[in-house]
Amino acid sequence: MQTAANLMPIPGHVDPVPVPRAAPVRDDGLIDLVGLTREQIRAALEQGGLEPKQAKLRAKQLWHWIYHRGATDFATMTDIAKTQHPWLAARFVVARPEVVTAQVSTDGTRKWLLRSTDGHDFEMVFIPDADRGTLCVSSQVGCTLNCRFCFTGTMKLVRNLTPGEIVGQVMLARDSLGEWPSQPEGRMLTNIVMMGMGEPLYNFDAVRDALKIVMDGDGLGLSRRRITLSTSGVVPMIARAGAEIGVNLAVSLHAVTKEVRDEIVPLNRKYGIDELLAACAAYPGANNARRITFEYVMLKGKNDSDADARELVRLINHYKLPAKVNLIPFNPWPGADYECSTPERIRSFSSIVFAAGISAPVRTPRGRDIMAACGQLKSTAEKKSRAELDRLAAGIVG
Ligand code: SAH
Ligand code: SF4
């Protein structure tokens, strides 16, 4: 059920302030254990009435069953006394986001439209390759930042996802790939990118807590080297991301002049290119083995000249950045103001960067036919949510 408290209006183009709020309460009143830390599980068990010592042991067991084995039914947790199963089931649940639709692209890319318990829709995408499988995870419903070339940025409704909803995406992907229990070798889901809907650094705590679970050795067990967080440039949070999360960093640079970046990534009016690159240079662990990825969307006649490429090289050298550049052909969406650069232009841009000794591969668009490519995510239920909002405003539903 939606309430005014869990709907957040767009606070403005330049300085969005996401409103923190408690995790949505389930209609059935049960507490979802997914997304809780060991400590939070222990506390929830104690609150339910378990002795402290038992709560600690059970928390450890539950953690293993939930995150290592992928169990969702307490009855299957064989090292927990049978008599305790109904006690657990009466208070707790191990849930997954609801799947509204699942689509498969002609190139094998899969996209899921998911729904939170309070009725908000968000998307996740799985991109299989010969040697890896990458899950593109959302951090918010919509995005407050309104980058001009991004479909997600046009969504009116925004809410931060909870740690459970973020880690729940990874668990759902594991379910559908049949990859339980967690194994170090031979899995299809090998990499995670925080590149779905939303700006992860505007939902810092939840993203951090979720990724800690994903990286936990007795949890989902993915190495931090296989996880990449992409930000449009929330400068004050970059150092914290390095210190508290420590995954690979990708930065959506997209332009090399103030004029163009101000236009296409409005956050640039608050945190400019120089400030952003200085923060990148200070990112811990940034060295040649773990380079920072600079994403650069190729927009025809906007940011794709040879002069732009040379300026990009100059900036990277000036800040002594261990960098690679990811050139992303613009993925179109209905009503977009831009067009994709021509293949020749992209080649020319790429070769200038390459010639300077910086890797600059062109990212092959994946899943365009099902609107699953970079920047094409926008949940179809947005309209419904607006209508619900209007009904709410008119006092028709409570
Ligand atoms: N909000 C974060 C992460 C999500 S977007 C960020 O902006 O970094 C993942 C990447 O896709 C970003 O580099 C984003 O700028 C890019 N992107 C957005 N819209 C796009 C589009 N229509 N075509 C190609 N890339 C796009
Ligand atoms: Fe938000 Fe990233 Fe899209 Fe910009 S590109 S609107 S930050 S999701």
List the domains of the chain with CATH numbers. 31-93 (1.10.150.530), 98-393 (3.20.20.70)
How many Å lie between the centroid of ligand 1 and the Cα of residue 374? 5
Q: Which is higher by pLDDT, 375 or 251? A: 251
CB of residue 150 inside a 6 A radius of ligand 2? yes
Task: Find out whether 267 and 144 touch, Cβ atoms under 8 Å.
Answer: no
Return the ligand 2 atom nearest residue 150 CA: 3
User: Within 10 A of 397 (CB to CB), how many other CB atoms are there?
Assistant: 10
Task: Find out whether 253 and 323 touch, Cβ atoms under 8 Å.
Answer: no
- How much is the average pLDDT of 11-17? 44
- How much is the average pLDDT of 237-246? 95
Calculate Rg over the CA atoms of the chain: 22
| Residue 1 confidence (pLDDT) above 50 | no
Q: What percent of the chain has pLDDT over 90?
A: 75
**What pLDDT, on a 0 to 100 scale, did the predictor assign at position 51?**
96
Q: What are the tokens at 128? A: 């299989």
Flag the least confident range among 154-163, 305-314, 349-358. Answer: 154-163
- How much is the average pLDDT of 20-44? 85
| Residue 212, H or E segment | helix 204-215
Mutate to test the pocket of ligand 2, among 152, 234, 378 (most ligand atoms within 8 A of CB): 152
Neighbouring residues of 362: CB distance < 8 A, sequence distance ≥ 6: 327, 329, 346, 347, 350
| Residue 74 confidence (pLDDT) above 80 | yes
CB of residue 117 inside a 6 A radius of ligand 1? no
CB of residue 143 inside a 6 A radius of ligand 2? yes
Q: How many residues does the chain have?
A: 398
How many Å lie between the centroid of ligand 2 and the Cα of residue 195? 9
Task: Find out whether 187 and 233 touch, Cβ atoms under 8 Å.
Answer: no
* Catalytic status, residue 374: yes
CB of residue 231 inside a 6 A radius of ligand 1? yes
| Residue 46 confidence (pLDDT) above 80 | yes
Q: What are phi and psi of 300, to 5 degrees?
A: -55, 125
Q: Which of 143, 150, 280, 374 is catalytic?
A: 374
- How much is the average pLDDT of 158-186? 92
* Catalytic status, residue 123: yes
57: confidence class by pLDDT, cuts 50, 70, 90: very high
Q: What are the tokens at 207? A: 């993203």
How many Å lie between the centroid of ligand 2 and the Cα of residue 180? 32
**What pLDDT, on a 0 to 100 scale, did the predictor assign at position 22?**
52
Flag the least confident range among 41-50, 149-158, 315-324. Answer: 149-158
How many Å lie between the centroid of ligand 1 and the Cα of residue 318? 25
CB of residue 7 inside a 6 A radius of ligand 2? no
The CA–CA distances, whole Å, from 342 to 296, 330, 348 equal 15, 10, 10
Q: Which of 123, 199, 295, 388 is catalytic?
A: 123
376: confidence class by pLDDT, cuts 50, 70, 90: confident
391: confidence class by pLDDT, cuts 50, 70, 90: low
CB of residue 139 inside a 6 A radius of ligand 1? no
d(CA 30, CA 219): 22
Neighbouring residues of 303: CB distance < 8 A, sequence distance ≥ 6: 254, 255, 256, 260, 264, 296, 297
* The model's pTM: 0.90
**What pLDDT, on a 0 to 100 scale, did the predictor assign at position 7?**
38
Give the residue whose CA is nearest to atom 4 of ligand 2: 147
| Residue 378 confidence (pLDDT) above 90 | no
